[in-house]
């Protein structure tokens, strides 16, 4: 399964590389188009997120019902079309339309659910961390390459590259990625209700977390290039000098965070540390009277951002039930893109009427509230997993699993004909579950 996970991570990385490629210069590019103003710049930076938040949940829910691969293919094609529109845009309005089209290819939650489908529960966190790491590396590569290509050859060329990368990802998906296994809820006729995705306290915290993560990222990408080029007089092709050290330190802290979070189950601690660092960075943005202080603030922001990147999807996958995975990740990703869209729109509106210092005070306050909220987060339960061949079971007993205390989830992998039971080791034992299900050990002879 490692090959499939790596391949899906590669597809996600290609798509995000295309998105991130234009981000370092997008606000500057939008400012130079006909009809541009601060609000339209904000829409251009975060506009793709508006259509993402409209389509992410429908894509996720549909993928649970009709399959994931076809929806990913459609999403990549739409994203390519939107990239072409951005490349040929002659005014700010056309650029915003193109960005909205880019966002309509809402495949993030579906690809994440595909990875979850292909992996066992025990290995899922590592798989999600691999995808998060791929996204972080694509982010690093894109914001190093983007300023150079965009500064020398034009930002429109970046959108052309983005379209080509999306088509390359589509080709790879169609010819090298198999269909994922079919997952069914184990309790016949009693699939988990959608409302549970809203009422679950752990999942709700993750939605808020992802919303603010996307909100603050978009605002940072709007103000960093604008301030460096207008206030401090940097050229567009010099921006790599802030992004390079920011990404180096961000990558180092990302690796440490992934190890501490997944191996030692210190996810809450990593989340709190990341948010605290972001709070400090936004406070410094407002105080910066020199480019040196501004660069330090930028580095701190990317450290905080990258610390969360490999842990976000894996944490949601720990909380969500298997049969709701696409929908849960759809809501999760919708929250992110709602944050991205509002970050661009609200950030642009504030800058239109106020200055950076006022905006930084608002962001510092928002980030501080986020920190307080996440102090109540609980680390995910370390669960046990039981994999049992369906032919060796008394299938009438499967429905009774819901009555057993300590059962977190139970689902049937129809493709492999296996029942998967996720349970709390401290509450119920593997031997008890096998006895309850009247499990017959397979004949190992021959």
**Cα gap 412→417, rounded to integer Å:** 7
Which residues lie below 8 Å from residue 222, measured CB to CB, with a gap of 6+? 27, 41, 42, 45, 343, 344, 347, 348, 351
Going by C-beta distance under 8 Å and a sequence separation of 6 or more, which residues neighbour residue 380? 202, 265, 267, 315, 318, 319
412's enclosing H/E stretch is: strand 407-413
Are 300 and 340 part of one and the same domain?
Answer: yes
324 in any annotated domain: yes
pLDDT of residue 146: 87
The answer on 112 and 63 residing in a single domain is yes
Range from 137-141, 175-179, 257-261 carrying the lowest mean pLDDT:
137-141
CATH of the domain at 203: 1.20.1250.20
Task: State whether 254 and 347 are in the same domain.
Answer: yes
pLDDT digit string, tens, across residues 375-416: 988 888 878 888 888 887 776 778 788 788 999 888 888 777
pLDDT confidence of residue 237: 74
Mean pLDDT (the chain) is: 84
Among 354, 374, 394, residue at a domain's last position = 374
What's the domain count of the chain? 2
Pick from 49-53, 185-189, 322-326: least confident: 185-189
The C-alpha angle 339, 340, 341, rounded to 5 degrees, equals 90
- Of 431, 44, 79, the residue nearest 226 (C-alpha): 44
Nearest to 23 by CA among 170, 314, 220, 284: 220
43 near 103, Cβ under 8 Å? Answer: no
* Judgement on whether residues 369 and 394 belong to the same structural domain of the protein: no
**pLDDT on residue 73:** 92
Confidence of residue 446 (pLDDT cuts 50, 70, 90): very low
**Domain annotation covers residue 445:** no
Q: Which of 330, 345, 374 is the last residue of a domain?
A: 374
300 and 319 part of one domain = yes
Asked whether 223 and 347 are in contact (CB, 8 A), the reply is yes
Paired with 184 in beta bridges are 412
Query: Does residue 379 belong to any structural domain of this protein?
Result: no
DSSP characters over 174-225? HHH-PPPPPEEESSTT-PPPTTHHHH-HHHHHHHHHHHHHHHHHHHHHHHHH
- Please tell me the distance from the alpha carbon of residue 437 to that of residue 71, in angstroms, as a whole number: 37
Taking each helix axis from N to C end, the angle separating 155-176 and 2-31, rounded to the nearest 10 degrees, works out to 160
Same domain, 188 and 278: yes
444 lies in a domain? no
For 282-304, the pLDDT digits (tens) are 999 988 889 999 999 999 999 99
The whole-number pLDDT of residue 125 equals 64
Considering the domain architecture, whether residues 268 and 300 belong to the same structural domain is answered as yes
188 falls within a domain:
yes
pLDDT score of 192: 54
One domain for residues 311 and 402? no
pLDDT at 281 (0 to 100):
95
Residue that has been written with the tokens 């103003």 in this structure: 37
- Answer yes or no: do 419 and 394 share one domain: yes
| 441 is a domain residue | no
What is the DSSP track for 290-303? SHHHHHHHHHHHHH
CA distance 410 to 384: 12
Average pLDDT over residues 83-104: 92
The rounded distance, in Å, linking the Cα atoms of 329 and 320 is 8
Task: Give pTM, 2 decimals.
Answer: 0.73
Query: Quick one: pLDDT at residue 122?
Result: 65
Q: Quick one: 101 and 19 in the same domain?
A: yes
pLDDT in tens, 45-87: 877 777 877 887 788 778 877 778 988 998 999 999 999 999 9
Nearest CA among 376, 382, 374 for reference residue 265: 382
CATH number of the domain bearing residue 429: 3.30.70
Show which of 336, 355, 374 is a domain's final residue: 374
Over residues 219-248, the mean pLDDT reads: 84
Tell me how far CA of residue 320 lies from CA of 31, 222, 314, in angstroms.
42, 33, 10
Instruction: Say what percent of the chain tops pLDDT 70.
Output: 94
Q: Look at residue 306 in the predicted model and tell me its pLDDT.
A: 85
Separation of alpha carbons 47 and 182, rounded Å: 34
> In the structure encoding, which two tokens stand for residue 315, read together?
């944490």
Task: State residue 275's pLDDT score.
Answer: 96
Eight-state DSSP code of residue 262 = I
Other beta carbons within 10 Å of 346: 18
Helix orientation angle between 2-31 and 121-153, rounded to the nearest 10 degrees: 30
304 plus 408 within the same structural domain? no
Judge whether 291 lies within some domain.
yes
- Of the candidate ranges 57-61, 126-130, 309-313, 341-345, the one whose mean pLDDT is the lowest: 126-130
Range of the domain at 61: 2-374
442 within domain boundaries: no
User: Do residues 259 and 388 share a domain?
Assistant: no
């Amino acid at each position: 399964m490692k090959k499939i996970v790596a391949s899906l991570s590669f597809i996600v990385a290609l798509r995000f590389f295309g998105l991130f490629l234009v981000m370092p210069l997008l606000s500057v590019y939008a400012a130079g188009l006909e009809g541009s103003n601060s609000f339209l710049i904000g829409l251009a930076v975060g506009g793709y997120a508006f259509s993402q938040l409209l389509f992410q949940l429908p894509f996720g829910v549909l993928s649970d019902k009709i399959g994931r691969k076809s929806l990913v293919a459609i999403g990549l094609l739409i994203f390519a079309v939107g990239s072409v529109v951005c490349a040929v845009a002659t005014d700010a309005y056309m650029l915003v339309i193109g960005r909205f089209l880019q966002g309509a290819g809402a495949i993030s939650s579906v690809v994440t659910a595909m990875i979850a489908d292909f992996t066992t529960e025990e290995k899922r966190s590592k798989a999600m961390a691999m995808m998060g790491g791929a996204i972080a590396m694509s982010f690093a590569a894109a914001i190093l390459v983007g300023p150079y290509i965009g500064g020398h050859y034009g930002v429109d060329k970046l959108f052309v590259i983005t379209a080509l990368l999306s088509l390359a990802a589509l080709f790879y998906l169609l010819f090298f990625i198999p269909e994922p296994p079919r997952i069914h809820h184990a309790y016949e006729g009693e699939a988990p209700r959608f409302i549970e995705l809203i009422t679950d306290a752990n999942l709700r915290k993750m939605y808020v977390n992802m919303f603010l993560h996307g909100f603050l990222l978009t605002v940072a990408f709007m103000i960093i290039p604008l301030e460096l080029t207008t206030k401090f007089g940097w050229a567009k092709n010099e921006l790599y000098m802030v992004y390079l050290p920011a990404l180096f330190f961000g990558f180092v802290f990302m690796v440490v965070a992934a190890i501490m979070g997944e191996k030692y189950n210190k996810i809450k601690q990593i989340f709190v540390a990341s948010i605290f660092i972001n709070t400090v960075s936004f406070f410094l943005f407002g105080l910066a009277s020199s480019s040196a202080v501004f660069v330090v603030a930028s580095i701190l922001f990317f450290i905080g951002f990258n610390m969360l990147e490999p842990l976000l999807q894996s944490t949601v996958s720990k909380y969500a039930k298997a049969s709701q995975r696409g929908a849960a990740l759809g809501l999760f990703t919708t929250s992110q893109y709602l944050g991205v869209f509002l970050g661009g729109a609200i950030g642009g509106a504030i800058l239109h009427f106020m200055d950076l210092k006022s905006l930084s005070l608002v962001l510092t306050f928002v980030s501080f509230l986020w920190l307080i909220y996440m102090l109540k987060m609980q680390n995910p339960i370390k669960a046990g997993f039981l994999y049992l061949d369906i032919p060796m079971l008394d299938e009438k007993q499967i429905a009774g699993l819901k009555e057993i205390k300590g059962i977190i989830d139970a689902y049937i992998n129809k493709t492999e004909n296996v029942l998967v039971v996720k349970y709390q080791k401290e509450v119920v034992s593997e031997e008890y579950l096998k006895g309850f299900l009247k499990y017959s050990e397979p004949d190992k002879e021959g």
